[in-house]
């Protein structure tokens, strides 16, 4: 796969940028200081493009995550003109000095030091419904929008959870009950619930070092910069029809983090509602939440929203989305989503069968006891915390026991969460322990 054919779909999912290389630190790579896309016109060496992937090579990605709509076609997620949420701010400067020890490290660091270590672009911590910490170290502005990467999956999962709670979607039904076009695919005998929990036994890999890995065909289907010679699937949904089942495997037994499940779930939800993902997120979440800013999704060549990693949104709006879930679907005294949907997201994946399916994957040895449900990561820790996660440092971390929500946007050079978690999860837990004493 040539560099110019590396679609944003692949970039948004990949752990493709090496961890072992030496990169300039967070202070040196602040986008304004780097000068990307500045001037009339910008200098050639400071002009970034999607067609040659220059827009997503570190450190250029520190600019691009705040400007995706400048590189790809997008469609808005309207916040509408209704009543907006309100939130109080009572900043606690002591949070900067909370210390924790990263996994596999010997020396502790402060929470403030972790921001630079994770190339944080913006972070908000909420406690008991108030914003107690808010910083924008690089690139992102308080009114800006940032790529959420695979946090997008959890929005798709939330839409599906709402439809299940409203009895418009049945997780026990087969995929083909909603999408008969997939009768000859590997998804044919999977249930909707297995898609939501990513326990489909499909032959699909996201190995970026393997030119034959299925992710390349998936990415090509969603790429708006395809060469004229391309003759494969023309969009994400056409690609889903080509997915095969693993031989001698059963759906529902083993967790496998495969983004095509999210694309399929969005398609199923669209069949149920007769609406595209951008309208569903707008009408079912964003407008009832009272979001302050329109979001947007990146689109494939057929105008299909990239459900698995294409949502861009405002940091405060994302934090208040998390706060709404922490409160059982309520915000500012209003029931935004059904309480049953919020409860199922928070607790539905806590049984032993979910933990066993997660452990069988063998992909996350440091996430012992975790599980995955409705496109959300469930820690199953003593606080009942759960989270949405995306490459390059995107996160929503909800801790019910600590009455805490953390929302973070970042632009780390290391994409994969296996490099991000050791600096992030113990930091979140340390803040939760501190807030529990407040």
pLDDT tens-digit readout, 42-56? 999 999 999 888 899
- Backbone dihedral angles phi then psi of residue 65, each to the nearest 5 degrees: -60, -20
Render pLDDT for 83-99 as a digit per residue (tens, 0 to 9).
999 999 999 999 999 99
229 touches 270 (CB < 8 A): no
pLDDT level of residue 14 (50, 70, 90 thresholds): low
Is pLDDT of 15 > 60?
no
Question: Is the pLDDT confidence value at 272 over 80?
Answer: yes
Smallest CA-to-CA distance from 159 within 359, 341, 390, 385 is with: 341
Predicted confidence band at 20 (pLDDT cuts at 50, 70, 90)? Answer: very low
Q: pLDDT at position 201, please? A: 98
pLDDT at 141: 97
For the entire predicted model, the pTM comes to: 0.96
151: pLDDT confidence band, cut at 50, 70 and 90? very high
Q: Does the pLDDT at position 181 exceed 80?
A: yes
| Residues contacting 81, CB < 8 A, separation 6+ | none
- The torsion angles phi and psi of 373, rounded to 5 degrees, stand at -155, 135
pLDDT exceeds 50 at position 57: yes
- Position 431 confidence tier, pLDDT thresholds 50, 70, 90: very high
Strands (DSSP E) contained in 227-305 are: 244-245, 295-298
- pLDDT for 197: 98
Quote the pLDDT of residue 414: 87
Catalytic residue among 150, 185, 371, 424: 150
Of 379, 375, 357, 371, nearest to 260 (Cα)?
375
The pLDDT of residue 12 is above 70: no
| SS3 state of residue 371 | strand
Instruction: Give the tens place of pLDDT for each residue, 389-416.
Output: 999 999 999 999 999 999 999 999 988 8
Per-residue pLDDT, 289: 98
pLDDT digits (tens, 9 = 90+) for 69-126: 999 999 999 999 999 999 999 999 999 999 999 999 999 999 999 999 999 999 999 9
pLDDT score at 6:
54
pLDDT in the model for residue 52: 85
pLDDT-derived band at 206 (thresholds 50, 70, 90) equals: confident
Active site residue 150: yes
CA–CA dist 123, 146 (Å, integer): 12
Q: What is the pLDDT of residue 7?
A: 66
What 8-state DSSP symbol labels residue 316?
H
pLDDT of residue 1: 39
Cα–Cα distance measured from residue 407 to residue 435, given in angstroms and rounded to the nearest whole number: 16
Q: What is the DSSP letter of 74?
A: E
Cα 58 from Cα 81, distance rounded (Å): 38
């Amino acid at each position: 796969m040539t560099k110019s054919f590396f679609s944003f779909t692949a970039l948004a999912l990949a752990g493709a940028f090496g961890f072992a290389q030496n990169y300039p630190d967070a202070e040196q790579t602040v986008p304004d200081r780097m000068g990307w896309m500045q001037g009339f016109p910008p200098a050639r060496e400071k002009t970034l493009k999607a067609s040659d992937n220059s827009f997503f090579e570190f450190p250029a990605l520190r600019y691009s995550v705040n400007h995706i709509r400048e590189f790809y076609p997008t469609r808005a997620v309207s916040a509408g003109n209704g009543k907006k949420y309100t939130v109080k701010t009572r900043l606690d400067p002591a949070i900067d000095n909370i210390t924790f020890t990263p996994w596999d490290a010997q020396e502790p660091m402060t929470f403030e030091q972790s921001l630079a270590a994770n190339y944080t672009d913006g972070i908000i911590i909420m406690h008991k419904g108030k914003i107690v910490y808010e910083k924008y170290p690089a690139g992102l502005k308080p009114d800006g929008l940032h790529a959420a990467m695979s946090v997008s999956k959890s929005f798709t999962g939330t839409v599906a959870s709402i439809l299940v709670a409203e009895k418009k979607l049945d997780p026990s039904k087969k995929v083909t009950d909603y999408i008969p076009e997939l009768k000859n695919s590997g998804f044919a005998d999977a249930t909707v619930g297995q898609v939501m929990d990513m326990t489909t036994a499909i032959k699909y890999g996201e190995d970026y070092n393997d030119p034959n890995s299925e992710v390349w065909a998936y990415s090509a289907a969603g790429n708006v910069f395809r060469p004229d010679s391309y003759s494969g699937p023309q969009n994400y949904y056409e690609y889903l029809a080509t997915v095969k089942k693993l031989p001698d495997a059963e759906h529902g037994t083993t967790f496998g983090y495969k983004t095509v499940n999210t694309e399929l779930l969005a398609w199923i939800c669209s069949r149920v509602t007769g609406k595209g993902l951008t309208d569903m997120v707008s009408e079912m979440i964003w407008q009832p939440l009272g979001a302050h800013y329109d979001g947007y999704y990146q689109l494939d060549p057929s105008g299909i929203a990239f459900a698995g990693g294409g949502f861009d949104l405002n940091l405060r709006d994302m934090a208040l989305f998390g706060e709404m879930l922490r409160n059982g679907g309520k915000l500012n005294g209003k029931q935004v989503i059904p309480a049953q949907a919020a409860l199922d997201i928070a607790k539905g994946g806590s049984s032993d069968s979910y933990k066993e399916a997660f452990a069988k994957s063998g992909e996350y040895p440091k996430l012992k006891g975790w599980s995955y449900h409705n496109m959300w990561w469930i820690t199953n820790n003593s606080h009942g915390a759960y989270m949405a996660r995306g490459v390059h440092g995107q996160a929503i971390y909800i801790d019910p026991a600590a009455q805490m929500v953390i929302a973070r946007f970042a632009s780390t050079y290391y994409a994969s969460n296996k490099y991000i978690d050791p600096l992030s999860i113990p930091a979140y837990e340390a803040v939760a322990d501190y807030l529990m004493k407040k």
